[in-house]
Structure 1
Amino acid sequence: MRKFGLIGKKLGHSFSKRYFTEKFAREGIADAAYELYELPNIADFPDLLTSEPELVGLNVTVPYKEAVIPYLHGLDESAARIGAVNTIRIENGSTKGYNTDFIGFRDTLQQFYPVGESAQALVLGTGGAAKAVWTALEELAIPYTSVSRNPAQNQLHYESITPDVLQAYTLIINTTPLGMAPDTTSVPAIPYEALTPGHYLYDLVYNPEETLFLQRGRLAGAQTINGLPMLYAQADAAWEIWTNERHR
């Protein structure tokens, strides 16, 4: 029996367990199981591997996406650039970390946004999710500017996003938790009145399916997408990594 699972501090209702359990049933994969492994501390990770020798793949969620890295034998190039891991492949006692958030975002963005010479992205937020987005944009050669409440060098403050500034960016990506349930009335502070049908809004939030950020974009005629396709794409990429179908 091949075992897969999710590690985190508090797991509660897990998308991953439901997704993979349904996948195994739907595709007749009888030799696989997916479990939840709550770890009070990341220092418990080696003991988990010892006690579960049938583990061949793990997903990683907060707060361990960065903390797990010192416990791994190796890192995929993109995971090393991002500095975060959400997928681990285990083979012959060796562990290698990957970031499929980056893969999921990159692949769904290519289907959603027409990447051309005029492509220019505004990334709202500078946290862990933003790092995966930055790496994907760099791989796709899409120039971007990040927006933060505490901007570093070459970043913008939200107060700097005027209607004129917004016209220069056709792609706007929300990597912040603003608008996520239960706080569905919160929204990034940008001049929504300046949005046009030429804008594309990508929100990494998927609950609710349409955040206020996306709703305002839709009402302005912009193209919109939430984080659900990315969530499914990153799970599929993890499965390909675990089963040797994706070599990275």
Structure 2
Amino acid sequence: MKTFGLIGFPLAHSFSKKYYDAKIERERIPGVGYELYPIPDITDFPGLVEKHPRLMGVNVTIPYKIAVMDYVDRLSPEAEAIDAVNCIRIERGNSGKPILTGYNTDIYGFTESLKPLLKPHHNAALVLGNGGAAKAVSFALGKLGIAHTLVSRSARPGQLGYAQLDSAVIGIHPLIINTTPLGTFPHVADCPDIPYHLLDDRHLLYDLVYNPAETAFLKQGKVRGAAIKNGLEMLELQAERNWEIWNAGG
């Protein structure tokens, strides 16, 4: 059986496992399985690939999206640009040594889920957070031609602090994207510390969090007339892109 899977640690709750199991059953795809591979250390990854000769591709999640880059043979341009991999295709030829190619499909998922929501005035964005997800979002916004500024707890060159988000800043950034985990279940009351009272119907709020479906961040925007979107479709789109890469070579 050809196998795909997810590496990370821990893997208590997996969107990927549920998604691909449902896809395989719904589309009646024969001879394919999807497994979870919780590895305590990224140095265990080569042994995992060797031990499972039918493993043809993996998703990569926290905390290995950067560290796994040391174990792939090639990188897609997007993965190389943002220094993060969330999808690996494993090609196994007759030579015996598998060839691993790293991709970043978070960029694709975010871009394709955001594009239908954009209006002409959504020409500048605030990206809340400065981690790996923020890198993927920033890269996508750059490709879309949308100016953007990172926001974090502390101001630094090229990056605003939350305390600097006044009416002028909020007014000229009609697109606000949360890339932090704030508001994720069970901490549903948490949300980024932005001045929500300054939002209006020109704003679009996008939250990479999808559980709950409507976070406190999104709720506060919604009551002020802003358009809102959670991260579920982004995950679904990147999952389908992963499948294409694994089965058709990208």
User: Under a length normalisation based on structure 2, what TM-score does the superposition of the two structures give?
Assistant: 0.95
CA displacement 1:44-93 (0-9 Å, x = unmatched): 11100110011111001111111110010011010111111110001121
8 Å contact kept, 2:89–2:101? yes
User: Partners in 2 of 1:7 and 1:145 — Cα distance?
Assistant: 31
Q: Match for 2:71: what amino acid? A: Y
**1:236 to 1:174, Cα distance in 2 relative to 1, 3 A:** same
Unpaired runs of at least 5, structure 2 = 93-97
Once the two structures are TM-superposed, the CA of residue 150 in structure 1 deviates from its matched residue by 2.2
Q: Are 1:168 and 2:172 an aligned pair?
A: yes
CA displacement 1:157-208 (0-9 Å, x = unmatched): 1110002210101100011111111111111111111111110000011111
Within the candidate set 178, 182, 204, 1:178 is matched to 182
User: Partners in 2 of 1:57 and 1:111 — Cα distance?
Assistant: 30
Residue 68 of structure 1: SS of its match in structure 2? helix
Q: Are 1:29 and 2:33 an aligned pair?
A: no
User: Partners in 1 of 2:167 and 2:193 — Cα distance?
Assistant: 12
Q: Are 1:5 and 2:10 an aligned pair?
A: no
Once the two structures are TM-superposed, the CA of residue 31 in structure 1 deviates from its matched residue by 1.3
Q: Are 1:17 and 2:17 an aligned pair?
A: yes
8 Å contact kept, 2:6–2:36? yes
Q: How many pairs does the alignment contain? A: 245
User: Partners in 2 of 1:24 and 1:205 — Cα distance?
Assistant: 25
Residue 228 of structure 2: SS of its match in structure 1? strand
Once the two structures are TM-superposed, the CA of residue 117 in structure 1 deviates from its matched residue by 6.5
User: Under a length normalisation based on structure 1, what TM-score does the superposition of the two structures give?
Assistant: 0.96
Q: Match for 1:222: what amino acid? A: A
Once the two structures are TM-superposed, the CA of residue 152 in structure 1 deviates from its matched residue by 2.8
Q: Are 1:113 and 2:118 an aligned pair?
A: yes
**Which residue does 2:44 correspond to in 1?**
44
Within the candidate set 92, 99, 105, 2:104 is matched to 99
**Which residue does 2:95 correspond to in 1?**
none
User: Partners in 2 of 1:129 and 1:242 — Cα distance?
Assistant: 22
User: Partners in 2 of 1:151 and 1:106 — Cα distance?
Assistant: 27
Q: Are 1:223 and 2:224 an aligned pair?
A: no
| The 10-residue stretch of structure 1 (217-226 or 179-188) with the greater mean CA deviation from structure 2 | 179-188
Once the two structures are TM-superposed, the CA of residue 118 in structure 1 deviates from its matched residue by 5.5
Unpaired runs of at least 5, structure 1 = none
Stretches (4+) displaced over 6 A: none
User: Partners in 2 of 1:139 and 1:224 — Cα distance?
Assistant: 22
User: Partners in 1 of 2:20 and 2:189 — Cα distance?
Assistant: 32
Residue 145 of structure 1: SS of its match in structure 2? strand
| The 10-residue stretch of structure 1 (178-187 or 53-62) with the greater mean CA deviation from structure 2 | 178-187
Q: Match for 1:31: what amino acid? A: G
CA displacement 1:133-156 (0-9 Å, x = unmatched): 001001111110111112331111
Residue 96 of structure 1: SS of its match in structure 2? strand
| The 10-residue stretch of structure 1 (146-155 or 63-72) with the greater mean CA deviation from structure 2 | 146-155
- Provide the aligned C-alpha RMSD in A: 1.2
Q: Name the % identity.
A: 50
User: Partners in 2 of 1:195 and 1:89 — Cα distance?
Assistant: 42
8 Å contact kept, 2:4–2:55? yes
